[in-house]
Amino acid sequence: MTPASFSSPLSRRRLLGAVGAAGAAGAAGLLGAGPAAAAPASGGRGSAALVIHNARVFTGTAGGGAPVEAVAVGRDGKILATGSGSAVRRHAGRDTEVVDARGNTVMSGIHDGHVHPLGAGDRSLRPSLEGAETTLPELRQLLTGFLADTGGAGAEPDRWLVVEDWNPVGLLPTGSVPHHSMLDALATRRPVALVGGDGHNIWVNRRALDIAGITAATPDPVGGRIVKGADGQPTGVLKDDAQDLVKRHVPEPSRAELVAACAKVLEQAAASGVTTMMDALVGRHELELYQALAAAGKLPQRIVPAIRLDAGQTKDPAAALAYARGLRREFEGVRGLRFGMVKVFLDGVIEYPAQTAALLEPYLDGNGRPTANRGELYTSAADYGRLTAAFNKAGWQLHAHGLGDRAVRTALDGYAYAHRVTGQRDARNAIAHLQIVDPADLRRFAQLGVAACMQLQWAAEDTWTMDALLPYIGPQRHRWMYPARSLERAGARLTGGSDWPVDALQVWNQLRTAIDRQGAYGTGELHRELEGLSRSSVLRMHTAGTAWQLRQEGLTGTVERGKAADLVLLDRDVTRCPVADISGTGVRMTLVGGRVVHDADSEAGRAAVARAARAGSGPRPASYAAVHGGRHHACGH
C-alpha cells in the first residue's frame, strides 16, 4: 500500500489479520501500568502502523489551534502524530494500514470510572426480569416459565432459581409489598431468589429462608436488614449486607462458565468503545476471574480493580491496608491490571421503598410530612477519615459509594481529615453516584481534589427520579439531583461511569443524557437548564477526566503524540451531530495500545455489536422507559 492510497473501508489485509483469532489475546498482552507496545509490523523504519484520516478528531486537550483531522499510530502502540491529513500522510509507509474516517469522530476510548463488568458476565448466566413492573399473577407466570427453562421437574426440589433484575418498586398495584408467601404459591419446592435490580434488595421464598436458617430470632447483620412483618417474622425481603445470608447458599457457576460469559461482555464493552474500566467491586473471586481471562487472552481493556472493604474493615485501617496489599501482591503480575484503589459503601439507595441512602434531613412520607428515617450510614466520618489517611499515606486511593447528601458529606469530611493528617494534595479520592449533593458541599470537591464520579444516564425524568423519589424528598432537594453543572462550576473534576450492569451498557446514550438530561428513554428533562453539561465537557468527563481519576492521564485520555493509542473511530461526528443522535452512535473500531480489539466489520465484531444492541434494548416497563434494568444491582453483589 503506498502512502497516497488512502483506503475507504477498513482494510483487513494486515491490520485485522494481526488480530485474527488471537484478537483480544494480542491486546491483553499489551496492557499494564505503562504504555502498551504493539507487535512490530514489517515495513519502513519510523513509518506508522496505522493512519486514520478524513476524521474529526476530538483530542480532549485544552486550548484551540487548528482542527485535527488525522492520527498516525506507531508500531510501539503509541500515537505517532496528529494534525492535518497532509502532515500525517508523511508517516504512512509502504505497508501502513490507512483508514478513511469519512468525516466521523476519532477520539480517546471511553474510560468507565465505575463499572462491574464481571457482574455483567455473571448476571448473563441467569434469567432476568429486566426491571419490569408486573402484577402478582404476571410475575408468577414469568417465574413459572423460568422454572421450566432452568430444569423443570428435573430440577426439583433443590436446584435454586435465581432471577436477576427484580424491580423492588415494580409490584403492581403500586404500593404492593413483597412477601415470601407470594413466591411460596408457585408450583415448586425449589428455593427461589429474586435479586433486586438496585443490588440492595433480594426477595426469597420460604424454602430459601429455611435453607439460610433465617427466623424471627435472626439478628440483622452489620450493614444489612432482614425485613420483618408486624408479627416479627421475616417477610422474605433482605436488604444490603443481609442478602449474603441467602446468597452464600446459592451454588456458583463453574469457573469455565464464568470466564466464557465474562469474555463475551468484555467484547461487548470494546464494541461500545470502552478501553479502560475501574471495576468498582473486587475481591479474591473477581481477581481470580481476571487472572483466568488474562491467561486466556480475553482481557481487551485496561482494568483498575477497586478492592471492596466491608463496614467492619473500615474500623481497622491497618488490617484493611494489609488485606489490600496482600491481594495486590498476589495478583499484581496479571497483565492488564493496575492496583491502587479501594471501595467503600457509605450508604444504600434513595428510591422508595428502599430509602437506605443517608440524608441530612429525613425522608418524607409521600405527602410532605417528615418521617423519622434519614437512611443508613454504614461508616462514620471519623472511621472513614482514619481509613482514608492510612491508605492515602500508603499511596492508595479511596472510592466511596455516596448517594445521599449525608453520605457525600461524610466522605468529604473523611477526605478532609486525611488531607490534614497526611498533607497530601493529590490523593485523588472519589465519590461515586452523587444523586443528592447539598449545595454547601459543592466547593469542597475542588478544595480537596476529590473526583466527582457521576453516572449521568440516570439524570432523566422517569419513575426512579419522579414517582419513587420526588414525593419522598420534596422539590427543594430534588432540584439538586445529579448536580453536574453545579459541581463543574464549583471547580470539581467530573469523571464518568456506567455502573453496568446496574444499568445496561449504553455508553453513547449515557453521554447524550449528561447533555440533555433526558436521553433516549426519559419522559422529560431532569433540571436540564440548571445541570445539563456542554458536549465538550461530557466528552472530556468520560475520557481525560476519568483518566485523571485513575492516575492514568499520562498514558491515555487524550489524543496526543506519545500517548497510548487507546482510540475509537465512530460512525458519526459526535462533536457536531444533533444531541439526540449521539444515543445511536456506533463504534467502527476500538484500539487499545495500538491493537484493534474491536472491528465492527469483522465476524467477532458483528457478534459483539449484536450482543450490545440486545443488552441495551431489553423490555422496559410501560409506565417508564428509563429503568435500564434497575439501580445498583452490581453494587450489592
pLDDT at residue 6, as a whole number = 29
> Cα(519)–Cα(456) distance, rounded to whole angstroms?
10
Length of the chain, in residues: 637
Helix axes 317-331, 381-393, angle to 10 degrees: 40
pLDDT at residue 2, as a whole number = 30
> Cα(410)–Cα(258) distance, rounded to whole angstroms?
36
**Strand partners for 73:** 50, 79
The conformation of residue 584, written as its DSSP 8-state character, comes to G
Residue 14 has pLDDT above 80, yes or no: no
Task: State percent of the chain over pLDDT 90.
Answer: 81
pLDDT tens for each residue of 155-166? 999 999 999 989
The conformation of residue 75, written as its DSSP 8-state character, comes to T
Nearest to 378 by CA among 407, 409, 412, 353: 407
Residue 109 CA from chain centroid, whole number: 15
The kind and range of the H/E element at 239 are: strand 234-240
Rg of the chain taking only CA atoms, in angstroms = 24
Residue 195 CA from chain centroid, whole number: 18
pLDDT at residue 190, as a whole number = 97
pLDDT at residue 12, as a whole number = 32
pLDDT at residue 613, as a whole number = 80
The conformation of residue 330, written as its DSSP 8-state character, comes to H
Torsion of CA 522, 408, 430, 570, to 10 degrees: 10
pLDDT at residue 610, as a whole number = 85
pLDDT tens for each residue of 437-451? 999 999 999 999 999
The set of residues, in sequence order, having a beta carbon less than 8 Å from that of 531 and lying 6+ positions away, is 459, 481, 482, 483, 484, 485, 486, 517
Average pLDDT, the chain: 89
The conformation of residue 541, written as its DSSP 8-state character, comes to I
Strand-pair category, 524-525 with 460-461: antiparallel
Lowest mean per-residue pLDDT among 278-287, 407-416, 608-617: 608-617
pLDDT-based confidence at residue 3 (cuts at 50, 70, 90): very low
Average pLDDT of 238-263? Answer: 94
The kind and range of the H/E element at 82 are: strand 79-83
> Cα(453)–Cα(398) distance, rounded to whole angstroms?
12
